[in-house]
Amino acid sequence: MEYSPTFSNWILVMTWLYLGLAFFEPHYFGDPTFTGKSVFCLVFELVILGFFLSDILFYSVHKATDYALSLKQRYYGNRKFLLRVILFLSFVVDFAIYYSTTTNPYRYTTLLRPGNVTQTK
């Protein structure tokens, strides 16, 4: 599943949609023109984060059965995998902070959206 062209294309589409979601977020901290947090954006962002999580899980399961490499080479030595996990965790933390507060916090991960680090295989 991880190397499936269809799944890779879906991940690519999700990254572009995640980048486009920034247009529905506040422009800056304390933006007076921001009308409120949308339930549509909340659900849409959850779906996108679910796709990113499935990508990490599929990779983990795929590499768990690769006995030609050591554990360090499979996970810890793979910088691309570590970058995926770190970015995903930062997206989840930002998502939780943004939707758990009643104010308009700054979305620090808007600059880190995965359009720059994701590629098709």
Please work out, in degrees rounded to the nearest 5, the angle formed at the alpha carbon of residue 65 by the alpha carbons of 80 and 1: 65
Confidence band for 119, pLDDT divided at 50, 70 and 90 = very low
Tokens of 1: 């599943």
Task: Write down the pLDDT at residue 120.
Answer: 41
HEC assignment per residue over 11-60: HHHHHHHHHHHHHHCCCCCCCCCCCCCCHHHHHHHHHHHHHHHHHHHHHH
pLDDT of residue 115: 54
Contact 56, 114 (CB under 8 A): no
In 3D space, the residue among 16, 72, 87, 79 whose CA is nearest the CA of residue 48 turns out to be 16
Torsion of CA 111, 116, 117, 121, to 10 degrees: 150
What was the pLDDT predicted at 40? 86
Give the model's pLDDT for residue 116.
45
121 has pLDDT over 70: no
The closest alpha carbon to 117, from 77, 90, 81, belongs to: 81
